Structure 1
Amino acid sequence: MEQYDVVVVGAGVCGLSAAHTFLTIDPDLSLLVVDPKSTIGGVWSKEQLYPGLRTNSVQGYFEFSDYPVLAADVGVKRRAHISGNQMHAYLENFAKHFDLNRHIRLCTEIIRAREDGAENGDAGWTLDCESSNPGDGESMSTIRCKKLFKGPVVHTFDLGRAAPGIVDDENVKNVVVIGGAKSAHDAVYIFASAGKHVDWILPSRGAVPMAKPSSKLGSWTIFVEAVLMFRPITWLGPAPWSVGDGFGWIRRFLHGTSLGNRLVKGYWETTGGQALQESGIMDNQKAQVLLPRDTPMFYGTQVSALNYDTNFYDLLNENKVSVATGKIDYIDGSRIHMDSGDVLNTDAIILATGYNHSTGIPLEPASKNLSRGCPIDLSEHQDNIYPDLDAKSDRQIVSQFPLMLHAPSKPERTPSLTPWRLWRFLAPPSQINNSAKGRNLVFLNAVASFQTVIKCEVTSLWAYAYLHDRLAIPTPTESDARREISLWTRFGKFRAALGMQGKQADLLLDGLPYYDLLLRDLGLRSWRKGWGWIGEVFWGAYSAQDYRGIVGEWMAMQKGLGGKEKTL
């Protein structure tokens, strides 16, 4: 049996970031990265790339702080979106540059993880692995649909593998796309641009808001990513984890007073309207059906960018795309019957219906998953910890953030599964009072954020410090941690009511204060612009380069404190 100090599950951005961070701090660490795919990259792996795939963020906001994408020689231009092929090449170059490949094992799937030794406080994991055949897996929604429909049924997760075959198949003339998020837009664009007719089935609330990647303010170009990471703008996004960011009085005014609430509401309505106007959707009569019915305030990372080569909405004017709203009544052969009575004839179905927020790997014993903070199936287990805490949290949230009372009502996502309930959105609450030897589990991908790479870098460093019991803050009791977890989770149910609904962290304007908090946990500067509050207010938006050197800063601080790094 092979033994390792650390196993990182997944060779995507977060997995590579974690491996790089851990090995930078401790080069002698015995570390393995496993991934079921045949190439690195996670969602940017070779097998998941499809025509036209690009990052939503532009250069400068989707890159590692110590490995700029412009220096990686993959053809990216300054302040341009990064194509799927460029992103994959960038991650391959990153792994090569930092000598990570010898730690990565591809085509390897963990089928079971069993915790051992927890009773004596020195717990580890036994992982059962097997060789994987990438592309074999199918989502349950895909499997159910295939039982009813005789043509190709593809979830957008598998679009990279399936899209070329559908595009090239002359027998596929009509394609149905189901869903309203960014992946649905991508699928519609791919097939309509390839000459297929697309019937697009939208939820009743319309599509998610889609903005132009940038807009003009005089002679200045303003990027969406910069707005989301400009500190004064983040004050307009309520977040319980913003406490301690140094601007509490402004936040209390904006979110705790009637005048402040009017300003916040006006900001979201105004900027949402401006974004729609600039996107071109308002000038296109046939695109009006796509208009979101709600303010963007209650979306999360589903808000996205129109990063296409041509005008997306022209596809509707050219009658290449027809839009239907409502629910599917039933599927019969090659026909989809809508509850409106309409019947859609199609040769292929594309499901852009989101994903399950489960752990993905069976963790044993399963009886510990609730205390670990993992989603549990309520049809099989009972949540006997959080119902009372959640009721108290709801009262606190609407008292502290009255605008949350206006959150739209939407059917619950995967109601049979409880949310992720992790301390700081990262750590199992049942382990935080253990010594370093008893801390053996961190989830880095339970946080969705626009700033994927920044998030991965900050959370990876936090994870190392936490697992080694080297955070700079006192460890809360498990009961205090659960109260915080409940508050943060329930806040997400209101704040991202049209997004992940608190099932996992879903950060829009709340990303920067979250990274601030983790940096303070580490004992590092969260104000990184220089010149105190003046720099934070006037020195522009945060980008990857503002976080450059945080690992070295933390290592130097540990050395100054007399800390001795140790393996797990």
Structure 2
Amino acid sequence: MFYAGWFGLGAAKQYNCTRPDDSLAIFESESSLGGTWSDQRLYPLLKSNNLFGTYEYPDFPMDAATFGIKPGQHIPGPVINAYLKAYADKFNITNLIRLQTKVIVAEHQDTLAGGWILTVTNSNQEESKVFTRRLIVATGMTSEAFLPHFQGQETFGGPIFHNKHFMLNRGTLTTAKSVTIFGATKSAWDAAYAYAMAGVKVNWVIRYIRFLTWFSPCVFSEAGGYSAIRNFLHGTAVGRAIVNTFWSILGGDVITLGGFDKHPETAKLKPWTHPMFTGTSFSIFNYDTDIFDLIKKGDKISIHIGEVSHLSPGKVHLADDTELDSDSFLAVTGWKHVPPMKFLPEGIDKELGLPHARSKDAPAEDLANQQDLIERADREIFERYPRLKDQPVWNKDYVPLTSQTGINTTDDITPWTPLTPYMLHRFIVPPSERFLKARDVAFVGMVSNFSNILTAHLQGLWVSAYFSGLLANDPAAAIADEKAMQALCYEAVLHNRFGKWRYPTDWGSRAPSFIFDAVPYLDMLLRDMGLEPHRKRGFMAEIWDPYGPEDYRNSLSKVYNNPQEDLAPKCHASDNDETHERFKYEVGTLAEKKLGTALELSNSATASNASEEMNTRIGPRE
């Protein structure tokens, strides 16, 4: 498994609890766990968008006294880092993490049992190979930064760095007199605030770019019920008028409450996209003081709407000939959204459902390039949600960063490389007979929403149940049934294609990214595991009370308390907390009783052999 961020730790905990006899290793390329919240990425004044109580694993509540945080507060980065380390300790997975170990190649073994041979490097760049029976990829979409080459950067004279490395360049907060920040996502807002509060002049350059779930068109909402209400709101003229009014009011509230129009400088930061089509790439005002006050003063933060043309000694030049004195240049220039390792055999990324080159004449296993399925999915989406036909026009003259004069790159893949989107069943596993038979690979965290931690928890549980053949709605059941397999593949295309039209100005066309659709997605995962998605007590509570981590706290124990399943809960938690002790189950008896096929028994034997081999290569479990 790799890496050790929110999704990696969540999946590791679920796997370690549910398959205690398997050997587990977590490969993390950085020198500490945490992913986005690791020691190396905790830049000054970093806080979560989420409030205390909403940013935690359901089975490990963030205790206010322990972590020094109060209700109603945004959570400081160091607190989240400490929480993740405590979570790893709590469930005995810290000792399973191999830090400064990067997976560079994953080669699939095309046998009945499957499996992968991984090529890994350590901090000394020494290579070794490891065989694993199952592979969980948890690299997410913000693990590999994209930093292009800016014309003249060799003569600039100051540090030029991606926002991922702000922490490593935090010394510029005291050494720089002026800094240019290029970009406008949350990291850019945070950096502008941090520099301004440190007394550094900020030139902020922004390119010319781009009850609630019922009001959001959602193609995978069936699992949550209330289809009659959704059909009325999105399938009738009256309903669509109500929906349009809702989004208009919401957008107006954002502008009014944010106070964007109260000053000509803050007006430059006003959202440029329709609120309905806005994805997860935005920031929440979570600062100790009002960042707008720093902008209004003019001497702290100056906003420039334009393009960077080149750099020269101590200066950043814009396309309109503006020159900005700068000691440092912080580039918020995006991420490579594909996993940062090579998959073999060559071309297997197509069948894995990973982004790859577009093609009009693709083989059947290349699901993302099946034009007939794509066209069929588009027709269904527009028939069900006519509002999505009216796409926002945000900038007809937009030029990708890598096509901008003065900016270039030698990287094979950039955020603007024309690739297919992810094409995964439930945004987790390849809808391919070969991989469904082997049950040897899953991807977690290839999705972004405002319920990422809940998603990490349930995706991890879903994956563990899938590997054990215990899903109530198992995609592998479609194997050898041509119609069922066709339906499974089409559903994957439909769900992954939906983002292109629902969130067109964000990640939506490349990977699953949604806001109001998070609860329907979690509903779908719960249904697959045989769980009731309606977690509240009573109809009124169900439609009006917000969902939080507490609503999913006993998900794992409920999955394995079904009448037909004889399971003994025994979790390797570090203490006697009742919440955590319920989470262990024995796979052997259940797998033999419920599945009992030669294939499954063969896989179980292979998994045992793989465990022994991994023990000899990466060390035994402690």
What's the TM-score bracket when you normalise by the shorter of the two chains?
0.7 to 0.9
Deviations 1:135-191 (A, max 9, x none): xx98452555645744211111111211x211121xx22211111111111111111
**Pairing 1:72-471 to 2, within 5 Å after superposition:** 73-116=66-109, 118=110, 120-132=111-123, 139-143=145-149, 146-147=153-154, 149-162=156-169, 164-169=170-175, 172-205=176-209, 232-319=211-298, 320-378=300-358, 385-409=369-393, 414-431=416-433, 434-435=436-437, 438-471=438-471
> What SS is found at the alignment partner of 1:241?
coil
Q: Write the distance in 1 (CA, Å) between the matches of 2:344 and 2:155.
A: 35
Residue 527 of structure 1 aligns with which residue? 534
TM-score normalised by the chain length of structure 1: 0.87
Shift of 1:104: 1.3
Secondary structure of 1:132's aligned partner? coil
Q: Structure 1 residue 345: deviation in Å?
A: 2.9
The structure with the largest alpha-carbon Rg is: 2
Between the aligned partners of 2:155 and 2:115, the Cα distance in structure 1 is 44
Deviations 1:339-392 (A, max 9, x none): 32323232211111221111111111131111110111459x968633332222
Contact 1:296-1:303 within 8 A present in 2 as well:
no
Please state how far the C-alpha of 1:422 moved relative to its aligned partner.
0.6
% identity of equivalent residues: 31
Distance in 1, matches of 2:427 and 2:116, equals 21
Aligned to 2:493: 486
Q: Deviations over 1:71-116 (max 9, x none)?
A: 6712111232111111111111111122111211111111111111
Structure 1 residues 13 and 244: CA distance shift in structure 2, 3 A:
closer
Q: What's the counterpart of residue 64 of structure 1?
A: 57
Deviates more, 1:263-272 or 1:542-551: 263-272
3-state SS of paired residue (1:305): coil
The residue identity in structure 2 corresponding to 1:124 is G
| In 2, Cα distance between equivalents of 1:409 and 1:431 | 40
Q: Indicate the SS of the match to 2:421.
A: coil
Q: Which deviates more from structure 2 when the two are superposed, residues 36-45 or residues 482-491? A: 482-491
Q: Output the CA distance in 1 between the equivalents of 2:314 and 2:433.
A: 51
Matched residue, 1:3 = none
- Count residues in correspondence: 525
- What secondary structure is seen at the aligned counterpart in 2 of 1:18? helix
* Equivalent residues of 1:431, 1:439 under 8 A apart: no
State the Cα deviation string for residues 474-495 of structure 1 (Å, max 9, x = none): 5344432332222222211111
Q: Which of 498, 505, 515 is 2:512 aligned to?
A: 505
Change (3 A) 1:492 1:326: same
Shifted more, 541-550 versus 360-369: the winner is 360-369
For residues 433 and 331 of structure 2, the distance between their equivalents in structure 1, rounded to whole angstroms, comes to 38
Q: Tell me which stretches of 4 or more aligned residues in structure 1 moved more than 6 Å.
A: none
Q: 260-269 vs 424-433, which deviates more?
A: 424-433
Contact 2:189 2:283 in 1 (8 A): no
How far is the alpha carbon of 1:530 from its aligned partner?
2.4
Distance 1:12 1:559, change over 3 A: farther
Letter in 2 for 1:543: G
Take 2:565 and 2:268, find their aligned partners in 1: how far apart are those partners? Answer: 60
Q: Are residues 168 and 241 of structure 1, via their aligned partners in 2, closer, same or farther at CA, if it must alter by over 3 Å?
A: same
- Give the stretch that moved more between structures: 551-560 or 83-92: 551-560
Structure 2: which 5+ residue stretches go unaligned?
126-142, 401-414, 479-483, 568-586, 592-603, 608-622
Q: CA deviation at 1:405?
A: 1.8
Residues 279-308 of structure 1 show CA distances to partners (whole Å, capped at 9, x for unaligned) of 232333320111112221111111331000
Change (3 A) 1:20 1:139: closer
Letter matched to residue 556 of structure 1: N
Correspondence 1:545 to 2:550: yes
RMSD across aligned C-alpha pairs, in angstroms? Answer: 2.5
- Compute the TM-score of the two structures, normalised by the length of structure 2: 0.80
Counterpart of 1:398, as a letter, is F
**Deviation sequence 1:297-337 (CA, Å, 0-9, x none):** 11111133100011011111121111111222333444333
Residue of 5, 10, 17 corresponding to 1:17 = 10
Could you tell me whether the CA contact under 8 Å between 1:109 and 1:130 is conserved in 2? Answer: yes
Please, which runs of 5 or more residues in structure 1 have no aligned partner? 1-7, 207-231
Give, in whole Å, the separation in 1 of the partners of 2:543 and 2:533. Answer: 13
Q: Which moved more, 1:518-527 or 1:178-187?
A: 178-187
- Contact 1:409/1:497 (8 A) holds in 2: no
Contact 1:142 1:154 in 2 (8 A): no
Return the offset for 1:133: 7.6
> Which secondary structure state, in structure 2, belongs to the residue aligned with residue 449 of structure 1?
coil
